Amino acid sequence: MEQTQNFKNHTRYFPFHHFILTPLTLVYFIWTIVDLDFSSGSATSESIKSLILAFIIVCLPLLARIYALKNQNRIIFAEMRARYAELRGRSFSEVESKLSGGQIIALRFASDEELIPLVEESISNNLSSKEIKMKIKNWRGDYRRV
């Protein structure tokens, strides 16, 4: 069973991505830069090809992460629209346009009892996502996110 989430422990890491794949691709990229050889035309050509390949290899896990996070954010926005409509009986669109993406993402951690007052306070006081998360008393954990 996972530990109960709260503000202090809600940050998630995927060990293979964060601690193995990404660092190794960075090591490979740096190694490629160190090994660049411009001593002849063919060495220069091979070095440039190696550098381009190393750059692509670094970009791939980052791109995969960006795609996953963008998809996750779309899901969060859909969940927040449904939750708000269920709790308020009206569309989230009237307040969604007044909130930043980060605020909406932070608000998803609020319990049903806290959500509406926090939405209103976030709009009126322009709370940062960190401030929103710190105000949540009854944390609603998200154990399925990427």
User: In this predicted model, what pLDDT tens digit does every residue of 41-50 receive, in sequence order?
Assistant: 999 999 999 9
Report CA torsion sign: 127, 128, 134, 139: positive
**Residue 26: pLDDT over 80:** yes
3-state secondary structure of 139: strand
* Percentage above 90 pLDDT, the chain: 81
> Who has greater pLDDT, 8 or 65?
65
| CA distances (Å), origin 98, targets 83, 91, 136 | 17, 13, 20
Q: How far apart are CA 55 and CA 119, in angstroms?
A: 42
For residue 132, the model assigns a pLDDT of: 97
